[in-house]
Homo-oligomer: A and B are copies of this chain.
Amino acid sequence: MIFKQLLEADSSTYTYLIGCEDTRQAILIDPVLDTVERDLQVLKDLGLTLMATLETHVHADHLTSAKRLKGRTGCKTAYPKMLGLPCQDIGVQEGEPFAVGSVSLHPLFTPGHTDHHHAYLIDTPIQKFVFTGDALLIEACGRTDFQSGSAGDLYNSIHNKLFSLPDETLVYPGHDYEHRFVSSIAQEKARNPRLGGGRTKEDFVALMDGLDLPYPRKIDFAVPGNEACGECPANIPEQFRGPCAASDQG
């Protein structure tokens, strides 16, 4: 298995490159439009063929590069099957492993941040990796106040699907805003101030409902754009239009 953790700094998003050493196939989990050239260069440097992009959910904080990468490389776009997006080539769902050469990703249905969110588990003989998207973050979690979010569902997803994984399982989140890169299930159980240390579901729901977070700066164009696999929508404000400029080259 080949593994790279790549950061898009404007939205503090982690894109994960997962490749197979034997077949030289690779996927990108949650790739970002702003860093598409960087990601293509990393694939080239590693001698990998991009097989697919794979999303944990329809993002509200950045545009995916799924469509752009499909145009540039001929890869497929993969999304949670339940979304039924017209642009998606592959639908993934819990119980159906997604293969990248000899590497298997196991989708885990983890609603709460959105109603269709999936995490992805890779269970190797050496180590377990879970890509938690915007469900479980390091010492935090995704917000639950838009896109059919539900604090109760997120509590259940994290406790039943993620905290039930072995303690040593490595946690690779969809974002980190403080330069943390990796945690483990044991660490989040012990230290996560929202979800660890025996906090009850009622506590968690009250906490999340009381956060009073600012309106997401990109949501109005990011959600419709991402529902079209990262097409740049017409309503994108000028200051966010930069990464869209090259979209017709795709």
Contacts and interface: CB of A to CB of B under 8 A. Distances in A.
B168 A4 contact: yes
Contact of A168 (B3, B167, B191): B3
Given A126-B3, A127-B126, A181 B184 contact: yes
Interface string A165-201: 0011010000000111111101100110000000000
A29 to B, nearest CB: 14
A1 interface: yes
Contacts of A179: 187, 190-191
B182 A191 contact: no
B168 A5 contact: yes
**Identical subunits present:** 2
Interface residues of A, number: 23
A216 interface: no
A155 B187 CA distance: 27
Nearest to A180: B187
Nearest to A166: B4
Contact of A126 (B126, B178, B187): B126
Given A3-B126, A126-B126, A187 B191 contact: no
Interface string A144-175: 00000000000000000000000110100000
A124 B125 CA distance: 11
A124 to B, nearest CB: 5
A220 interface: no
A183 B138 CA distance: 11
Contact of A127 (B3, B21, B190, B191): B3
B181 A186 contact: yes
A3 to B, nearest CB: 6
Given A125-B1, A126-B1, A182 B187 contact: yes
Interface of A: 1, 3-5, 21, 124-127, 167-168, 170, 178-184, 186-187, 190-191
20 contacts: A1-B125, A1-B126, A1-B127, A3-B126, A3-B127, A4-B168, A5-B167, A5-B168, A5-B184, A5-B186, A124-B126, A126-B126, A126-B127, A127-B127, A170-B170, A179-B191, A180-B187, A181-B186, A182-B183, A182-B187
